[in-house]
Structures are given as C-alpha cells and as structure tokens.
C-alpha cells in the first residue's frame, strides 16, 4: 500500500481503497458468487462501476440512491453474478435418482497460495453446512445464477446415515509450486476438521497453450505422468509427516479396493492417466457404496475444473 500511495502521489492521480461490501446493502439477498472473500470483490466491483459511470457523464452518486441504499441495478448485478469454476457445486448427472446423489463435485480453480486457502476454507464449510444426513444437492439447469440448490428432505428409513468421504482431485501447471499449494490446502482443511480420504492426481484433458482444432488430446499411452507422480510424492510425504495422527489412518474401506485403473496407487493417493478414468472410478465407487457420499474437491487448475465440468455435465 505504501508503494501504491507513493506512486499515485508522484503521478498526481487519486487512489481509492475499496472496502468490502456491507451485506446489509443487498436488501436481504445473497451474492451470486459464494465465499466470504466475494464481499471484497463485490466492493471493488461497485467502486469500479461507479467510477466508470461518473467518468462517462452520468450525474450524481451512481451506486447509492437518496436513502443511502444500493441502487437496484447494482443489487441485481451482484446477486445474479455467475462465474463457473469458482466455489461451484455440481451433482454428477450420471446418477438418475435425485434421492441418492452419491457423487458431488466441489469445483474451484484456485492455483495460488492465497486462493488455495480460500478454496479450502470454502470447501470445508460447504460440506459441513450441507450435512449429507439432512440435505441433498440438486442441479439447477435453468438458473444461471447458481449451480445448485440445497434440498432438505427426511429419509424414509429411520436411522439412515450416510458417511462422508472427502476426496481431492488435483492438478496444477508445472510453473506452480506444489510444495506450497498442497500443504496450505491440507492444513486449512484440517483446521476445519476435514481430512481427505484419498487424493487423486491426473493430467488435464485440455492443453493450456493450444485452442480450437489444434488442441488435440493425447492417448493414455502418450501421456507423461512424471508431474503427477511428483504431486503424489509431495502429498504422501505430507501425510506421513503429519504428527497429529489424524490424517494418516483415514483411508476408508470403500477406497482401498479396485485401483487397477490407476497408474500408481499409494496409501493415501493415486495417479490416473486420464480424467475420464478418474470419473469412471469415482462413479463406480459411488454406485457400489450408496451409504457413502463422495464429496470431491476439484482444484489446482482452471483447466482441470473446466475439463471436469465438461465431463460431468454431459
């Protein structure tokens, strides 16, 4: 901030610091984007749009009305904002029965240290707020604002309890440092009492520097998995070095068997050569263990998040 203030002073330009948006200004509505950090982004959006409107000739205070409330157009924009791949919850459409919903994907394309912590905090709170014993996720295909709604329902069978199995599906570009990202993710989740049953590492389908017809994908036999093995090694070392003992003995029975599709299976993680194989493996586990809700956090790369969305929304 000191550097920004000094530079602004030398250039003789105003410097405005945007404050987080006050939730009370939304008239009882909620932001279209999930996560507490979005109130900071919303405050910046309001300040930026207001400044632009003033500079382009609109008169008066453009974001507050005469009562001091946020104008209707601003509230509408903030509450209808949509951004796929950030704090997005998607129930796998592969399962026809909405009463089961055994496989739920929590998607966030975090790929920096700060965003990884925000992602982990969001995921931890999201799976706790949406208790699998009391709520189910249902896709809202016709609502662009929200990727899901929470449907509360009572199970017919008394005493029915569904176990939760948090799973990490991760990849990041080689320019990122997994020695920083993965510990922050694991520690933040652990601080909220969330421990992953298994971590799955897989290359993305898309090639980040090619688009259109040039973006052809490689066959499984052509894929270089050395980076994914490196990610797996980082994760296994983190698990083994955990002194609390809470993380090292959590691999559930539902995930110990049937790993022949993986390229490398370790105690706490597995490497798959292709994303479709991972999705198939998850669907098979969910189908065979209907007393378990598989809650899959997909993060580390927006490319990976986009590929998962493309597969599970078919």
The answer to whether residues 293 and 91 touch, using CB atoms and an 8 Å cutoff, is: no
pLDDT averages per 10-residue partition of the chain, 314 residues: 96 92 90 87 92 80 68 92 89 66 89 94 86 41 42 39 86 94 95 93 75 51 85 94 54 60 85 93 88 93 93 82
Instruction: Report the SS3 class of residue 313.
Output: coil
Instruction: Report the SS3 class of residue 72.
Output: helix
Residue 60 is predicted with a pLDDT of 60
The answer to whether residues 252 and 203 touch, using CB atoms and an 8 Å cutoff, is: no
Give the chain's largest Cα–Cα span. Answer: 70
> What is the value of pTM for the model shown?
0.76
Q: Per 3-state DSSP, what percentage of the chain is helix, strand, and coil (rounded to 5)?
A: 40, 15, 45
Residue 256 is predicted with a pLDDT of 61
The answer to whether residues 182 and 236 touch, using CB atoms and an 8 Å cutoff, is: no
Residue 221 is predicted with a pLDDT of 53
Distant-in-sequence, close-in-space partners of 22: CB < 8 Å, separation ≥ 6: none
Q: What angle do CA 147, 190, 136 make, to 5 degrees?
A: 30
């Amino acid at each position: 901030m000191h550097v920004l203030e000094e530079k602004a002073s030398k250039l003789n330009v105003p410097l405005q610091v945007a404050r987080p948006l006050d939730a009370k200004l939304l008239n009882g509505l909620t932001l279209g984007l999930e996560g507490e950090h979005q109130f900071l982004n919303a405050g910046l959006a309001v300040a930026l749009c207001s400044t632009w409107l003033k500079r382009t000739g609109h008169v008066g205070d453009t974001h507050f009305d005469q009562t001091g409330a946020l104008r209707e157009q601003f509230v509408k924009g903030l509450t209808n904002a949509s951004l796929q791949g950030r704090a997005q919850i998607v129930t796998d459409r592969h399962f026809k029965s909405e009463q089961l919903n055994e496989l739920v994907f929590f998607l966030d394309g975090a790929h920096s240290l700060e965003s990884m912590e925000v992602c982990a905090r969001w995921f931890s709170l999201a799976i706790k707020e949406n208790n699998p014993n009391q709520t189910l996720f249902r896709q809202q295909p016709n609502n662009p604002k929200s990727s899901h709604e929470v449907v509360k329902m009572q199970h017919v069978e008394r005493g029915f309890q569904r176990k939760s199995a948090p799973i990490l599906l991760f990849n990041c570009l080689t320019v990122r440092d997994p020695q920083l990202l993965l510990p922050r993710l694991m520690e933040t989740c652990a601080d909220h009492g969330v421990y992953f049953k298994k971590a799955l590492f897989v290359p993305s389908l898309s090639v980040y520097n090619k688009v259109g017809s040039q973006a052809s994908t490689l066959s499984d036999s052509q894929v270089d998995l050395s980076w994914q093995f490196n990610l797996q090694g980082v994760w296994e070392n983190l698990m083994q070095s955990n002194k609390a003992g809470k993380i090292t003995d959590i691999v559930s029975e539902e995930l110990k068997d049937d790993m022949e599709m993986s390229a490398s299976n370790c105690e706490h993680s597995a490497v798959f050569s292709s994303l479709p194989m991972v999705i198939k493996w998850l669907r098979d586990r969910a189908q065979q263990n209907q007393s378990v809700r598989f809650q899959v956090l997909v993060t580390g790369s927006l490319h990976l998040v986009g590929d998962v969305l493309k597969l599970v929304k078919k």
